[in-house]
Chain A
Amino acid sequence: RIYPLMRVTLTTSDGASVTVSRQLTKHSGFIEKAITDMAVDDNAVPLSAVAVDVDDATLKLVIEWLTEHRDDALPYPEKTDEERRADDIPAWDQAFVQKWDTKEDQQQTLYAVITAADKLDIKGLLDMTCKTLANKINGKTVEEMREILQLECDFTEEELAEIRKENAWCEN
């Protein structure tokens, strides 16, 4: 049982501390497991700090998302092979991600949130951010993908020609 007023302190990889409600952290498989492993009395307030391998700036974004999604049903539904659509991102989530587009490091922010969602085992956030990245590169050319993903082409001319040849062969 989760007590809505119960709070847990999270310590970030860059040394910051954030205290949040268990109502939010219940969506994180990692944090819930850490609390369980501590074998503390659920009535203890506050709970011992849980160390997360996520920086403070990214954790703030994660908490913002968790706050909006605090009432989402758990467990997060498993995806079936048929449910591979990426056009079903809720409006709030789309706006949440679009805010980053104004930042210089928008792509880094997206990678950081994806990685945080993976590390903290927040399935809903991971699903949404993976779909966001998929939507960004869907149907794009190689050059467009490089620009979106901010990748340098480090192939030699010969290697690139070979990759192109291989790709054409795979679709023959």
Chain B
Amino acid sequence: MADGEHISLSRDEMARPEWLPTEIWTDILSHLPDRDRLSLRACSRGMEHAISLTDFQADYNYCRLAGYPDKLMLRLSKWIRMKTDYSEEGLDKLLHMRKRLFRRVFSIAMTISGVNFNIVSAEYVNCLLEDTKFGELTLIIHAREYNHDILDVLQKPARYTVRVIFKGFMPDRKLLTDLHPMRILKIDQTATPLDHDVFLTLVKNRHRSFAVSCVAFDSTQTVLDAVKSVALNSESQKVSIVVQWSTICEFLTLIGFERTERIIHYRFFDRHVSTFIKTSEHELIFELRIYSHSDPKYGFELKNDNVIVKFSPVKLYSDDYSLIIENKLATLDVTYEN
């Protein structure tokens, strides 16, 4: 029986299981293996219809829409694994079965990976995910799979928090700047640098975690502007960028450090930080991580394979890698007062 229908039935009429309310069948099915859902729908027309109206709690360990060279797979549990080729008939069949097995799908998480949006339209994916509620949707997309229309999948209002990972390429500027705040936005393994103005826009758009492997900085002022923007955010925010050591040095100078000698003078460093200083003589790659005020790691840190150096304006870190620059980070403190 559909939601909202209230039909008074006699005891004999109620004797038919198809007439049990939908939410009761959802409850009964929640105690059964997924295979029993399939068996039940084969019992009678009424049961097939009743099952199609129920909700389904998907197993997030398996919950995935995955694209392969010759097929598309929607997997929602250990047993329910629907695969089709990319023919119109095959895609229609997948959509049909999705609608006949359950009405709504719930899961803690769902991953979409390997789906070529130039073959499978964003509109189709949205139809497939209609009436679904995920705690978190992760979309992993490579260059050949990319189509600007993925925005339609990512921007479904309030359906879930979204993690999107662009792998090996730089998406177009418009898509990036149009994105609503994401749980994670990651642009990974790309040799094409992100323009400095887009970078700053994305920082200001306050994606909760934003990581990019390559930025074309026009000046270290952009880095400082990013640090200030994050620092001003009262929500949790993390920005991670891969930068050259020369950029780091310029940035540190910009906020008042006098290069490495001054740092040594401040802290009587242990060998870990000495390594940091020593390697700084070369053009090395560092990851600069910036954390907002509400993050326990508030401040920013520099990381490579050997060392992490933390810069915190408020907390005195006691571990060996910490570096507290009370005076120099006053620059950032002034920023908060603005």
| A86-B31 CB under 8 A given contacts A145-B39, A171-B38, A172-B81 | yes
Q: Once the chains bind, are B48 and A138 in contact (CB under 8 Å)?
A: no
Tell which of B35, B42, B82 has the most Cβ of chain A within 10 Å.
Answer: B42
CB-CB nearest in chain A for B27:
A130
State in angstroms the CA–CA spacing of A81 and B45 once bound together. Answer: 29
Output the least CB separation between B53 and chain A (Å).
Answer: 15
Since A130-B27, A145-B39, A160-B42 are in contact, a sample of 10 more A-B pairs with Cβ atoms closer than 8 Å, ordered by chain A residue number, is A84-B31, A85-B31, A112-B11, A118-B23, A130-B24, A137-B36, A151-B17, A151-B47, A154-B45, A169-B93
For B, the interface residue count at a CB cutoff of 8 angstroms equals: 42
Known A130-B24, A170-B97; judge A139-B36 contact (CB<8 A).
Answer: yes
How many whole Å from A172's CB to the nearest CB in chain B? 6
Give chain B residues whose Cβ lies under 8 Å from the Cβ of A170. Answer: 38, 79-82, 97, 101
A115 touches B20 (CB 8 A): yes
Residues of B that sit less than 8 Å from A by CB: 8, 11-12, 14-17, 19-21, 23-24, 27-33, 35-36, 38-48, 57, 79-83, 93, 97, 100-101
B100 and A171 contacting across the interface, CB-CB below 8 Å:
no
Indicate if the CB atoms of A167 and B41 lie closer than 8 Å: yes
* A154 in contact with B44 given A111-B17, A137-B36 (CB within 8 Å): yes
Q: Are B31 and A131 in contact (CB under 8 A)?
A: yes
24 contacts between A and B (CB under 8 A): A55-B11, A58-B11, A108-B14, A112-B11, A112-B14, A114-B20, A127-B27, A130-B28, A130-B31, A133-B28, A134-B31, A134-B32, A138-B31, A139-B33, A146-B44, A149-B43, A150-B15, A153-B43, A154-B44, A155-B42, A166-B100, A170-B101, A171-B79, A172-B81
A93 CB–B CB distance under 8 Å: no
Count, chain A residues at interface, CB 8 A = 49
In the assembled complex, the Cα of A169 lies from the Cα of B23 at a distance in Å of 26
A145 and B32 contact, CB distance less than 8 A: no
Within 8 A of B (CB), among A72-94: 81, 84-86
Chain A interface mostly: helix
Contact yes or no, A169 B31, CB < 8 A: no
The residues of A that contact B24 with a CB separation of less than 8 Å are 114-115, 118, 126, 130
- Max chain A C-beta neighbours (<10 A), residue from B31, B44, B46: B31
Name the contact of B35 in the complex, choosing from A150, A160, A164, A171 (C-beta under 8 A): A171
Q: Is the Cβ of B40 less than 8 Å from the Cβ of A134?
A: no
A8 to B330, CA, bound (A): 72
Is A32's beta carbon under 8 Å from chain B? no
